[in-house]
Chains A and B, each alone.
Chain A
Amino acid sequence: DSGVTQTPKHLITATGQRVTLRCSPRSGDLSVYWYQQSLDQGLQFLIQYYNGEERAKGNILERFSAQQFPDLHSELNLSSLELGDSALYFCASSPRDRGSYGYTFGSGTRLTVV
């Protein structure tokens, strides 16, 4: 157990729908990072939150949004889902606002859009 908890582990939904992925960071970590891993793709950075505020944004689609709550858990919202959104979504956490010395990853949420 890495200490980073992601729910649900698996999600199957239809095109056009909206889903919410949840992440609880490791105790004491203030930063949460969201990554997408599609087939044959590496880990694509989506967005980072630090202590409740957006800190960095990557290749995140406008249909996707995220937030970090006062208890530091984070949610990634994916809407108007398309087949191409099927992927593994990972959350990671780190103690500070930079992930310079590494993150701790959760076990991921596998999203399948049918």
Chain B
Amino acid sequence: DQQVKQNSPSLSVQEGRISILNCDYTNSMFDYFLWYKKYPAEGPTFLISISSIKDKNEDGRFTVFLNKSAKHLSLHIVPSQPGDSAVYFCAASSNPSYSGAGSYQLTFGKGTKLSVIP
């Protein structure tokens, strides 16, 4: 049972345009969400995060939006650059008061491969 889903395995975008990567989750105990970026032959690196008390967090060209009622978050990259070409993983963590299964670690989606075309 996948608790964090990234339904688009890949996405191609022209340089300078907006990239929108989507993520859905099912566990209502998730209250902190992160995006990681992964280049080939490297480990994932942290990109941006958002707490469930917010609906938007911005860092330069990267903005994450959270819709709690829909259990959906998205990562917007504007403008997209060729160096943004990578696999993007959505991850979620649960409320610290929750001690059930999966409460200590991050749960990741399968990733979306973004290709930014020059």
A-B pairs with CB below 8 Å: how many? 72
Indicate if the CB atoms of A43 and B32 lie closer than 8 Å.
Answer: no
* Chain A residues touching B, majority SS: loop
Q: Which of B14-22, B56-64, B66-74, B106-114 contacts A (4 or more CB under 8 A)?
A: B106-114
Q: Specify the main secondary structure of chain B where it touches its partner.
A: loop
- Interface size, B (range): 20 to 34
Closest to B94 in A: A100
Q: Are the C-beta atoms of A101 and B49 separated by less than 8 Å? A: yes
Map CB proximity to A onto B88-118 as digits: 1 under 8 Å, 0 otherwise. 0101011010000011111111110000000
Q: A56-B102, A56-B103 are in contact. List 19 more A-B contacts (CB 8 A).
A: A2-B43, A35-B108, A43-B89, A50-B104, A55-B104, A58-B102, A90-B43, A90-B44, A92-B43, A98-B104, A99-B104, A99-B105, A99-B106, A100-B32, A100-B94, A103-B46, A103-B106, A104-B46, A105-B43
